[in-house]
Amino acid sequence: MIVAMAELAVHERRSNKFYTTMKETKHICKTNDSVLGLTFDYMHTISLPCIPVQELFYYSQLSVFPSDTHNLKTDEARQINTYINDNVLSCVKELHLYSDACGGQNKNNCMIRFLLSLTSNNRFDIIIHRFPIRVHSYFACDRDFALVKCFC
């Protein structure tokens, strides 16, 4: 019992530290134009059209794989590479990323190579990518996805 309570306390401290860091990044972004903080996530697959008829469902199914990038400073949302290319000013040299710790989505070679390409092309001097502990990955992206789910 005591061990479980100690583990819960450590878990809560780690979670609070992560969200405190994200709030600090948000504050730094608002005061320093050379720093940008983004959260990003992938939504579950959406099948279109959303119809309950089984036979027609399997013949005309189109799968959409939505992703979202949410700017901590301006609360704008887009896809990460498009967002960086279209919206991030060249004066921004420090990028803080927050995403869930899903290995298949965010902790993989593709993502690491993408971030390395941003630094090797001198787009950013520093990229910091932070992951929350398990169960505590509710970001602004999830609120954006909730809006999408309303229409499906």
| Alpha carbons 11 and 136: distance in angstroms, whole number | 10
* pLDDT band, very low/low/confident/very high, at 57 (cuts 50, 70, 90): low
CA nearest to 11, candidates 135, 99, 102: 135
| Alpha carbons 64 and 132: distance in angstroms, whole number | 26
| Alpha carbons 8 and 18: distance in angstroms, whole number | 15
| Alpha carbons 16 and 72: distance in angstroms, whole number | 18
pLDDT tens-digit map of 79-134: 788 888 888 999 999 999 988 877 777 777 888 888 999 999 999 999 999 888 77
Where do the structural domains in the chain lie, given as residue ranges? Answer: 2-41+69-150
pTM, rounded to two decimals? 0.71
pLDDT tens-digit map of 3-13: 888 888 888 88
| Confidence at residue 77, expressed as pLDDT on a 0 to 100 scale | 77
